[in-house]
C-alpha cells in the first residue's frame, strides 16, 4: 500500500481493499451498532476470513463511541488490541476509522464546539497505543453525515436547516484536522484517507441552479481540508448566509490538512435526477428544493440512457485536487449476480481511469460482512440485511460468490463466474420507476452495446419442469434478473433417461441446472410407487451424475414430508429422515442418491408453496373460498412452514450462484397449522374467514398418512423473511395483471401434450393442496 503523491504508475497494480460496515449512528438516544448486528464485535476469527480474500488493506473500526465512551482515561483497548494486531500479523494494512456516521459519545454531538478537541484527544491516544498504524480516517464521510444529521434530521442531533448542516460539517472537518495533528505528533508519517460520497446531480433546465448548487456542495469537506474555502469559493455567499462567522471557514486556510488519499464512496443512488414535474414520479420521490416542487430520484431510475458511471466522476476529483484516489466503498444492495456485476463495473472503471492518467490506487469492496437496515438509513431495527462477500445469517459467516470474485481480482486471475456476462439492473430497460426522460447532454452515456442484456454465448441455467408452477417461477425471475436460462419440458430433457440428459447438457452447455420436475401427487403416490420413485429419486440421481461429470452445479428440491413429525420442534438439516408415506420416502431416497453422485449439489427442503402466479396453491384457494363465502376445510393439527415462491426462487438462485451444496431448509420463518395459515391470509387480506372449518387432518380423507408437525428451521442460516412479511407481498401481487407470466404459460402450454406426461406429473390439483400435499 503506497500513498506517495506521484503520478499513477502503470507498473503498480490496482489494489483490492476491504471495508467493514461499522456505522455507530445515533437516533434520538438510541445507538445503532453495525458491529453488534453483524457479529464481528464478538468474532475474532473474522480477521482470517478477511485476509483470505487477498485484500491489501481494510477500512477498520477503532470507534470512539465504543472504545472510550466515558473518556480516554477509561478506555477499554482490549478489543482493538486483539483485532489490530491480528490484522498486522495477517499482512493486511488497517485504515483506522474513529467515527463512522457517528456523533460521538452521549456527552457530545456534531454541533458541540468541544467535539474536535475531544476526538483529537482520543485520536492521539490511538496513535500512542498503536504507533505502527499509518493510515487513518478520523471521520468517515463528513459532508454526507452532516447532511443526514444536520439538514435532513435523520440522525442525531436531527437538524433540519442549513446552519446546522454547516456547523456539523465544520465540527467534523476541524476534528479531522486536530485528530491528524495529534496522530502525527506520535507518528509523523501517518496518512489521512479522507472519504466521502461522490455522486452527481442532473436536472431539467428548470432545476439547473439547484443541481449546480448540489454539485458544488459535494466538494465542501475536501475543499475545507485543502484550504480552498474563502471569498472566491463558489459557495461562499451560501456559507456566510448561515450566520456562521467567516473566520470559522478561514481557519482551515491557516490549518490545512489535505488528504494523502481521497476516498471516493460511490453507490447506484449517488447520481441523482431533479425534475420540476413531480407528478411524473412515485410519491416518495417528490419534494421541494429551493422552494420549487420537484422530484429527486436516482438517475438510473429515470434517465433513458444510463450515465457513464464512476469513471467521469473520478476524473473530476483528480482534476480538482490532484491527490491520489481510492474507491473506498463499492457496494450495491441487489441480487447476487448484480452484486458481482457492480463490482466488475467499478473495477473496470478504475482500470479505465488509471489508463487515462488518474492516480487511482485501490478499489474497496464494502460491507465484507454485509449491512443491516440501510434501507431505512439505519433509523430502525427491522432486520433488513444486505449480504456482502460473507453472509452472517449462517452460524459462521458464509462466503458468497463475491468472496470468490475478490480472490480472483486480488490474484489477477481471470474472472470465472458465468453470470458476469450480463448487464446489471441499473443498465437494463426495465429499471425505470417512471416514464424515461431523454438524457441531458451533460450526462455521459455508455456505448450502444452496453444495453445488451445477456451475451448470446452466455452459459445458461437449465430449468426442468416447464409446465409446473416452480419451473415457471424460476423462468420468470431469471428473466427479471437478467440471467440466461432455458426452461425445458420433459420432451426437451427427460431426467429419467440418461441419454436424454446428456443430449440436453451437450446442446445447452449450462453452468447450472435447477430441477423442479417430479411427481407431486402425494395421495396418488401410495398406489403409484414405481412411477413416484422413478420421477422423484431415480431421475434426479441420473441428472446429478451427469452434472457431476460435466462440472455443472445442480439444485433440486425435497420436502418436509421426509420427516414423521414426532420431534415436537422444528426440523433442521441434520435431523434423520423418517417419512410416513411413499412420496416422502421417494424424496428421502432422492436426497441420498443425489448427494452420493454429486456432493456439490444443493438439495432444498421446502414446504407448502404459495405465490401470486398460480391459482392452485393453498393460500389462493382459501382466499377465493372466503370471498365466495364457501366452506373451506383445513387441518388444525398439522403444522408446517409455508414458503412464498418468489422468496424461494430468489434465494435458490443466490445459493446456486454461490455454488452452495448439501441440504438446506428454505421456508419463510414461522410455523402454523394449515387452518392458521388460512386465517392469517384472510386477516392480512381483510377478508372474513367465517367459512373456515378447522378440522383434524384425518377428516380430510387423504390416502397418504401425513405427519402432525413438520415445521422447518435452518441450522445453516435463515435466509427467507418472516411469513407475515411474505403474505403482505403476496397480497400486493395477487390481483395484478401479469402479461409476462401469462405469455410464458401460453408459450409453454403450446409445447406440451394435452393429456398425461409432464402436465399430469408436475401440476398439483387443488384437492392435493386442500389435503395439505407438499
Catalytically active residues are 583
Cβ pair 563, 575 in contact under 8 A: yes
- How far, rounded to the nearest angstrom, does the alpha carbon of residue 366 sit from its chain's CA centroid? 12
Distance CA 40, CA 42 (A): 5
Distance CA 651, CA 719 (A): 7
Distance CA 553, CA 657 (A): 9
Cell matching residue 602 = 444443493
The number of beta carbons lying within 10 Å of the beta carbon of residue 284 is: 9
Cα angle, residue 763 at apex, residues 758 and 765 outer, rounded to 5°: 135
- Catalogue the E-assigned strands of 444-591: 461-464, 485-488, 512-515, 553-559
Helix (H) or strand (E) holding 686: none
Cβ pair 590, 551 in contact under 8 A: no
Distance CA 463, CA 476 (A): 11
Distance in angstroms between the alpha carbons of the first and the last residue of the chain: 56
Cell matching residue 702 = 387423504
Please tell me what DSSP assigns to residue 151: I
Distance CA 330, CA 366 (A): 5
Asked if omega into 157 is within 30° of 0 (cis), the reply is: yes
Any alpha helices (H) in 491-581, and if so which ranges?
A: 498-508, 529-533, 539-550
Any alpha helices (H) in 104-254, and if so which ranges?
A: 115-129, 142-146, 162-186, 208-217, 220-225, 236-241, 246-254
Distance CA 495, CA 536 (A): 10
Q: What are phi and psi of 298, to 5 degrees?
A: -60, 135
Distance CA 419, CA 344 (A): 11
Cβ pair 362, 17 in contact under 8 A: yes
Q: What are phi and psi of 563, to 5 degrees?
A: -110, 160
The number of beta carbons lying within 10 Å of the beta carbon of residue 715 is: 15
Please tell me what DSSP assigns to residue 481: T
> Counting runs of H as helices and runs of E as strands, what totals does the chain give?
26, 30
Cβ pair 630, 691 in contact under 8 A: yes
- Sign of torsion over alpha carbons 457, 459, 464, 469: negative
In this structure, are strands 15-19 and 57-61 parallel, antiparallel, or unpaired? parallel
Distance CA 18, CA 366 (A): 6
Please tell me what DSSP assigns to residue 150: I
Amino acid at each position: 500500500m503506497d500513498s506517495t503523491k506521484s503520478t499513477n504508475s502503470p507498473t503498480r497494480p490496482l489494489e483490492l481493499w476491504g471495508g467493514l460496515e461499522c456505522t455507530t449512528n445515533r437516533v434520538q438516544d438510541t445507538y445503532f451498532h453495525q458491529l453488534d448486528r453483524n457479529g464481528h464485535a464478538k468474532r475474532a476469527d473474522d480477521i482470517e476470513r478477511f485476509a483470505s480474500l487477498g485484500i491489501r488493506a481494510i477500512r477498520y473500526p477503532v470507534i470512539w463511541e465504543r472504545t472510550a465512551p466515558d473518556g480516554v482515561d477509561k478506555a477499554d483497548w482490549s478489543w482493538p488490541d486483539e483485532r489490530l494486531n491480528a490484522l498486522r500479523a495477517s499482512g493486511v494494512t488497517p485504515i483506522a476509522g474513529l467515527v463512522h456516521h457517528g456523533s460521538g459519545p452521549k456527552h457530545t454531538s456534531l454541533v458541540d464546539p468541544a467535539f474536535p478537541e475531544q476526538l483529537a484527544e482520543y485520536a492521539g491516544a490511538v496513535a500512542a497505543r498503536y504507533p505502527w498504524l499509518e493510515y487513518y480516517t478520523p471521520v468517515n464521510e463528513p459532508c454526507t453525515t452532516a447532511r443526514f444529521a444536520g439538514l435532513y434530521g435523520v440522525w442525531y442531533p436531527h437538524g433540519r436547516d442549513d446552519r446546522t448542516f454547516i456547523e456539523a460539517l465544520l465540527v467534523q472537518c476541524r476534528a479531522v484536522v486536530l485528530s491528524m495533528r495529534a496522530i502525527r505528533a506520535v507518528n509523523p508519517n501517518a496518512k489521512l484517507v479522507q472519504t466521502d460520497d461522490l455522486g452527481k446531480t442532473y436536472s431539467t433546465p428548470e432545476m439547473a441552479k439547484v443541481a449546480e448548487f448540489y454539485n458544488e456542495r459535494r466538494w465542501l469537506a475536501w475543499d475545507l481540508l485543502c484550504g480552498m474555502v474563502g471569498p472566491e469559493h463558489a459557495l461562499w455567499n451560501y456559507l456566510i448566509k448561515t450566520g456562521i462567522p467567516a473566520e470559522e471557514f478561514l481557519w482551515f486556510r491557516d490549518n490545512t490538512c489535505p488528504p494523502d488519499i481521497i476516498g471516493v464512496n460511490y453507490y447506484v443512488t449517488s447520481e441523482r435526477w431533479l425534475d420540476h414535474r413531480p407528478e411524473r414520479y412515485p410519491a416518495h420521490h417528490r419534494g421541494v428544493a429551493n422552494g420549487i416542487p420537484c422530484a429527486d430520484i436516482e438517475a438510473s431510475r429515470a434517465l433513458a440512457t444510463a450515465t457513464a458511471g464512476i469513471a467521469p466522476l473520478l476524473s473530476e476529483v483528480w482534476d480538482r485536487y490532484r491527490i491520489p484516489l481510492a474507491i473506498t466503498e463499492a457496494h450495491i444492495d441487489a441480487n447476487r449476480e448484480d452484486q458481482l456485476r457492480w463490482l466488475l463495473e467499478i473495477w473496470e472503471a478504475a482500470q479505465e481511469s488509471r489508463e487515462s492518467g488518474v492516480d487511482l490506487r485501490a478499489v474497496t469492496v464494502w460491507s465484507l460482512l454485509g449491512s443491516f437496515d440501510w434501507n431505512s438509513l439505519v433509523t430502525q431495527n427491522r432486520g433488513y440485511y444486505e449480504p456482502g462477500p460473507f453472509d452472517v445469517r449462517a452460524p459462521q459467516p458464509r462466503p458468497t460468490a463475491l468472496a470468490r470474485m475478490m480472490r480472483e481480482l486480488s490474484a489477477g486471475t481471470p474472472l470465472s463466474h458465468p453470470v458476469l456476462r450480463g448487464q446489471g439492473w441499473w443498465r437494463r430497460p426495465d429499471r425505470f420507476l417512471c416514464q424515461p426522460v431523454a438524457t441531458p447532454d451533460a450526462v455521459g452515456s455508455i456505448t450502444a452495446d452496453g444495453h445488451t442484456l445477456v451475451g448470446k454465448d452466455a452459459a445458461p441455467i437449465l430449468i426442468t419442469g416447464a409446465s409446473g408452477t416452480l419451473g415457471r417461477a424460476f423462468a420468470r425471475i431469471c428473466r427479471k434478473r437478467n440471467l440466461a436460462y432455458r426452461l425445458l419440458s420433459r420432451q426437451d430433457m427427460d431426467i429419467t433417461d440418461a441419454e436424454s440428459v446428456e443430449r440436453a447438457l451437450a446442446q445447452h452447455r449450462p453452468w447450472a441446472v435447477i430441477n423442479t420436475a417430479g411427481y407431486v401427487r402425494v395421495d396418488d403416490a401410495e398406489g403409484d410407487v414405481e412411477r413416484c420413485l422413478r420421477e422423484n429419486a431415480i431421475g434426479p440421481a441420473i441428472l446429478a451424475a451427469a452434472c457431476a461429470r460435466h462440472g455443472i452445479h445442480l439444485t433440486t428440491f425435497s420436502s418436509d414430508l421426509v420427516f414423521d413429525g414426532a420431534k415436537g420442534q422444528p426440523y433442521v438439516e441434520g435431523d434423520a429422515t423418517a417419512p410416513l408415506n411413499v412420496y416422502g420416502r421417494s424424496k428421502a431416497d432422492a436426497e441420498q442418491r443425489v448427494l452420493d453422485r454429486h456432493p456439490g449439489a444443493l438439495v432444498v427442503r421446502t414446504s407448502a408453496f404459495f405465490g401470486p402466479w398460480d391459482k392452485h396453491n393453498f393460500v389462493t384457494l382459501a382466499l377465493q373460498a372466503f370471498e365466495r363465502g364457501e366452506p373451506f376445510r383445513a387441518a388444525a393439527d398439522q403444522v408446517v412452514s409455508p414458503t412464498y415462491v418468489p422468496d424461494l426462487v430468489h434465494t435458490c438462485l443466490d445459493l446456486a450462484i454461490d455454488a452452495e451444496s448439501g441440504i438446506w431448509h428454505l421456508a419463510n420463518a414461522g410455523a402454523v397449522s394449515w387452518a392458521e395459515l388460512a386465517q392469517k391470509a384472510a386477516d392480512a387480506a381483510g377478508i372474513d374467514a367465517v367459512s373456515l372449518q378447522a378440522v383434524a387432518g384425518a377428516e380430510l380423507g387423504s390416502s397418504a398418512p401425513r405427519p402432525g408437525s413438520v415445521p422447518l428451521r435452518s441450522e445453516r442460516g435463515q435466509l427467507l423473511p418472516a411469513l407475515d412479511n411474505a403474505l403482505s407481498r403476496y397480497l400486493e401481487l395477487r390481483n395484478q395483471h401479469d402479461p409476462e407470466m401469462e405469455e410464458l404459460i401460453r408459450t409453454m402450454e403450446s409445447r406440451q401434450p394435452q393429456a398425461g406426461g409432464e402436465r399430469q406429473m408436475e401440476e398439483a390439483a387443488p384437492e392435493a393442496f386442500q389435503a395439505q400435499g407438499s
